[in-house]
Amino acid sequence: MIGWVALGLLAVLMMTMELIPMNRRVHRVITVAGLILVMAGFSGGSSLPAEYQRLLGALPNRVIDQEGVLATTLGLTAIWPVESSPRSLTLLIWAAVGGVVAVSANNWLLIFLGIETVNIGVYGLLGDGSRDLGGDEALLKFFILTTVFTALAILGMGLVGGAQGTLEVLTSAGTRPGLAAGESLLLAVLLFKLGSFPFHWWAPDTYEGTPWEVATVIATLPKFVAGALLIRLAASHAFGAIGQLSTVFDIVAVGTMVVGALGAWRQPRLKRMLAYAAISQVGFILLPLARGQAAAAFAYLATYVLASLQVFSAAHALAGLHNPRREELVGAWHPPTRGPAGALVIALAAFAGFPFTLGMAAKLYSVESVLAGPMVVWLIALLVTGFTFLYYFRWIYPIFAPASPSPRPKPRRGLAAMSQVSAVFLVLLGLWTYPLLWLMHALGPLG
């Protein structure tokens, strides 16, 4: 109960602080302190009165999901420009509120409300960060497509509720057409939120048209919420009425990996390449779900979020307000951008699954979980992994390429620190994988 009360108070406090003239650094400190207190409140399970237990669960794996949403938000506040409007942090906190509600909910309607709260926060951040026609286009495309899938979610909830007689999330089975159609629509909505094939088309244009900090939000917070939800619902057989569900996950995972890898190879600009790289990473999150290995999927999801925070913060620190081409990164290893450049290299190595990074351990567990399945699936996963080394190397080489040092703007301190701290974690957790194993064991059978 303490966690929920603290979360609500933090959301109200954020709106109140917008009305009070305040030093922006003080505003940032209060926001970070509030998030830490909320995380402490949820760490004990934050049990609710009995009448609310049917709506919001307090199982150990829900606590991990809740803490994951809040930890992601905490990381995002570290990269947010101090000079930005306090409104941006308020929108970010409200997106986090929606995320915590969504990952905790036992009711389809409450899940829907949580996801829509996340969407509203992202809409606001996109609009607040729009400075040109590209930003307006990104906002419009994201808004229209999200609205379409919101309508599909409502239709799916109606079909599921009508077939089951309740909007509670229940284990389903059988071949009832209405229930199968409703679950298929809800599954499609979550896949769209993740940016997976065949619903990935919105991601590259949206990433490219937004400022780096907003692109970082889109790449992490909504995807963690959607991924955690999808993993829990798949593990609890909430999509059991969909025929050949494991085959569906196989096809979607393989398609996502291949489309993301091929798309990233041909991109000349950094932000668009990272958008396709993120799509490919989502495929490795979905891969274990076909074999019912929810813990391996969640481990990859957590690794993806940490690596994304690092890669986007490092790219932002390196590029400033620009979206550089590969040739513009030549000589980035020279001061004062050596720290962010090194962090970007480590993050791309983790995305590729390079040895001695957390990405290798997570990718190993993901691929290992499907070795008992069709050979073509894990073979494509291995081929895509090898291919990613090629296109990431195309972006890493210019950083170390010999060149005469050219003047570069000094990276923002918070961005550089966030990217380098994340890099240290990715390497340490790659060398010492016990925390990842503990996470997989703690999740156990999700429900």
Residue 390's pLDDT band, with cuts at 50, 70 and 90, is: confident
pLDDT at 259 over 90: yes
What is the Cα gyration radius of the chain?
21
pLDDT at 444 over 70: no
Peptide bond into 198 cis (omega under 30): yes
**How far apart, in whole angstroms, are the C-alpha atoms of residue 102 and residue 90?**
18
Residue 49 has what pLDDT?
A: 61
**How far apart, in whole angstroms, are the C-alpha atoms of residue 314 and residue 411?**
9
Considering 64-68, 322-326, 417-421, the range whose residues carry the highest mean pLDDT is 64-68
- Candidates 217, 211, 235, 210; CA nearest to 278 is 217
Contact 357, 428 (CB under 8 A): no
pLDDT at 56 over 80: no
- Candidates 96, 215, 114; CA nearest to 169 is 114
Mean pLDDT, residues 46-59: 62
Residue 227 has what pLDDT?
A: 94
What proportion of the chain, given as a percentage, has pLDDT over 90? 32
Average pLDDT of the chain? 85
**Domain spans, the chain:** 129-443
Residue 443 has what pLDDT?
A: 64
pLDDT at 145 over 70: yes
Residue 64 has what pLDDT?
A: 85
pLDDT at 80 over 60: yes
**How far apart, in whole angstroms, are the C-alpha atoms of residue 216 and residue 210?**
10
DSSP secondary structure string for all residues of 153-186: HHHHHHHHHHHHSS-B-----S--HHHHHHHHHH
User: Crossing angle of helices 294-319/60-79, nearest 10°?
Assistant: 10
Residue 431's pLDDT band, with cuts at 50, 70 and 90, is: confident
Instruction: Lowest mean pLDDT of 78-82, 101-105, 299-303, name the range.
Output: 78-82
Residue 255's pLDDT band, with cuts at 50, 70 and 90, is: very high
Contact 372, 291 (CB under 8 A): yes
Mean pLDDT, residues 61-66: 82
DSSP secondary structure string for all residues of 391-439: HHHHHHHHHHS-------PPPPHHHHHHHHHHHHHHHHHHH--HHHHHH
pLDDT at 344 over 60: yes
DSSP secondary structure string for all residues of 225-287: HHHHHHHHHHHTTTTTTSTTHHHHHHHHHHHHHHHHHHHHHT--BHHHHHHHHHHHHHHHHHG
Residue type, 417: A
Residue 102 has what pLDDT?
A: 93
- The model's pLDDT over 204-223, given as tens digits with 9 standing for 90+, comes to 888 888 888 899 999 999 99
Residue 421 has what pLDDT?
A: 83
pLDDT at 58 over 60: no
Residue type, 432: W
Residue 447 has what pLDDT?
A: 43
- The model's pLDDT over 126-144, given as tens digits with 9 standing for 90+, comes to 888 777 777 788 888 889 9
State pTM to two decimals: 0.92
- The model's pLDDT over 91-119, given as tens digits with 9 standing for 90+, comes to 999 999 999 999 988 889 999 999 999 99
> What is residue 107's DSSP assignment?
B
pLDDT at 23 over 90: no
∠ CA 270-272-278, rounded to 5°? 100
Identify the residue with better confidence: 405 or 252.
252
Mean pLDDT, residues 69-80: 89
**How far apart, in whole angstroms, are the C-alpha atoms of residue 33 and residue 16?**
16
